[in-house]
């Protein structure tokens, strides 16, 4: 289980994305749906009136059809926002809350899960640029004794998931898929988890492989990255993300909640499946995800972040998020499947029309997020789904690809 897709490097690009959506537990994916239950709104998915334009780089009809398919399949709600040189195209479908009839607000806040990892990796790379962290320096240099193989596990391995660390999130009380929970989850959903405790859950298990020799997605890596940021700066990772990214970019709908279980307004309710019933899991203690997946944001803010990161947009402080050398390091990838490559806190996939897009997915019970941008940072798409069941139709994958392919 994890605050991510459960990547399996044995399938090709589009097929992989569709199948990965069945392997998430506090996970984000490109495929989710809600079990039939309380009334769900009709499948209409009209975009904001202020943004109802089309252009040759996007298939609006396919976007709307995919949204309709998701709602028809039982998804509680979905928000989609595409940003390009012409502005924003934003739409929502389904309902904000089960049993209601209001559509999800297109500016609604949601938990972004593992998209958090790209923010955290950006801060670590900023510290590399400042000469305070070395990518190929062992983690023991900054966090002595934390990891059993910390003397041969480098910062790069942590950011790229080649450390061999077991993913602690596989031991949390979440069922098969990010959209399901076990009864034990209700007893721990408001409990505080120290990051050292989460790392300890992982290091109690043997390494999956010798550090650097293979690739395996592990949420533990980014709990370690959060601790590294604190060790180097003297401040919590969330404080650094806020000061270095959120405020400079003016991401007013984005926050690092710490132990706060609430979701700021406007928001959309999130659900998970327990014994065949939809349970409202909007409120939970995000410390169970920490630097691996606890942040809150909006579709507009996530798009702005990825556009600035890849496009080199200057922040309010007059500089890009990453210097060219560190952005190049982030984009140094290793293949994990046909058409899917993983960098430092970011992944690259190739769409059916041949466009390479960069981004991440993320989720936590009740919420699944998909966020990608073109390599030049000129077009971004963020999809947020509130749901508790994985659909098999691949409609969310089609939605993503339609936003980048005419």
Q: How far is CA 356 from the centre of its chain?
A: 18
Element (H or E) spanning 345, and its range? none
Whether 395 is catalytic: no
How many Cβ atoms are within 10 Å of 129's Cβ, its own excluded?
15
| Dist CA 116 CA 362 (whole Å) | 8
**Chain CA centroid to CA 405, Å:** 22
For Cα atoms 275, 288, 335, give the angle at the middle one, nearest 5 degrees: 95
Whole-number Å distance between alpha carbons of 173 and 181: 7
Task: Indicate the pairing of strand 271-274 with strand 380-386.
Answer: unpaired
Q: Which of 21, 114, 384, 403 is catalytic?
A: 114
Strands (E) in 230-333, as ranges, are 271-274, 277-280, 296-297
Strands 271-274 and 77-84: unpaired
The pair of structure tokens assigned to 249 is 């970019």
Local structure of residue 309 (DSSP, 8 states): H
Helices 395-404/13-20 angle, 10° precision = 140
- Tell me how far apart the alpha carbons of residues 232 and 394 are, in angstroms, rounded to a whole number: 42
Question: How many angstroms separate the CA atoms of 76 and 27, rounded?
Answer: 17
Query: Which residues does 8 contact at the CB level (< 8 Å), separation at least 6?
Result: 16, 19, 20, 23, 337
- C-alpha distances out from residue 187 to 1, 51, 95, 168, 274, Å: 18, 43, 28, 18, 13
Handedness of CA 393, 25, 400, 266 (dihedral sign): positive
Other Cβ atoms closer than 10 A to 229: 27
User: Which residues are identified as catalytic?
Assistant: 114
């Amino acid at each position: 289980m994890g605050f991510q897709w459960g990547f399996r490097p044995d399938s090709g690009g589009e097929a992989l994305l569709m199948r990965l959506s069945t392997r998430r537990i506090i996970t984000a994916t490109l495929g989710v749906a809600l079990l039939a239950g309380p009334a769900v709104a009709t499948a209409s998915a009209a975009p904001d009136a202020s943004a109802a334009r089309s252009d040759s780089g996007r298939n609006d009809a396919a976007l709307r059809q995919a949204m309709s398919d998701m709602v028809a399949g039982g998804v509680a709600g979905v928000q989609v926002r595409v940003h390009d040189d012409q502005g924003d195209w934003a739409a929502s479908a389904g309902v904000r809350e089960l049993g209601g009839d209001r559509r999800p607000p297109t500016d609604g806040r949601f938990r972004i899960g593992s998209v958090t990892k790209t923010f955290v990796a950006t801060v670590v790379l900023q510290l590399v640029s400042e000469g305070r962290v070395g990518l190929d320096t062992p983690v023991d240099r900054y966090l002595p004794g934390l990891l059993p193989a910390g003397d041969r596990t480098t910062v790069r391995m942590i950011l790229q998931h080649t450390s061999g660390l077991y993913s602690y999130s596989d031991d949390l009380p979440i069922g098969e898929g990010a959209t399901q929970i076990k009864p034990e989850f209700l007893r721990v959903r408001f409990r505080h988890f120290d990051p050292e405790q989460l790392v300890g859950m992982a290091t109690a298990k043997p390494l999956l492989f010798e550090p650097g020799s293979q690739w395996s997605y592990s949420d533990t890596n980014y709990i370690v990255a959060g601790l590294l940021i604190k060790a180097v700066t003297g401040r919590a990772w969330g404080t650094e993300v806020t000061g270095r990214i959120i405020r400079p970019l003016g991401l007013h709908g984005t926050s690092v909640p710490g132990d706060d279980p609430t979701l700021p307004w406007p928001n959309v309710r999130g659900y998970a499946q327990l014994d065949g019933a939809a349970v409202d899991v909007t409120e939970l203690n995000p410390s169970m995800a920490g630097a691996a997946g606890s942040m809150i944001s909006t579709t507009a803010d996530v798009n702005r972040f990825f556009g600035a990161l890849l496009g080199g947009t200057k922040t309010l402080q007059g500089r890009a998020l990453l210097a060219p050398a560190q952005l190049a390091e982030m984009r140094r990838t290793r293949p994990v499947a046909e058409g899917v490559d993983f960098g430092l806190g970011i992944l690259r996939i190739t769409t059916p029309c041949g466009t390479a897009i960069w981004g991440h997915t993320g989720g936590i019970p009740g919420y699944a997020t998909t966020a990608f941008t073109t390599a030049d940072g000129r077009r971004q798409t963020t999809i947020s789904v509130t749901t508790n069941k994985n659909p098999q139709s691949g409609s969310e994958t089609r939605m993503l690809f339609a936003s980048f392919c005419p």
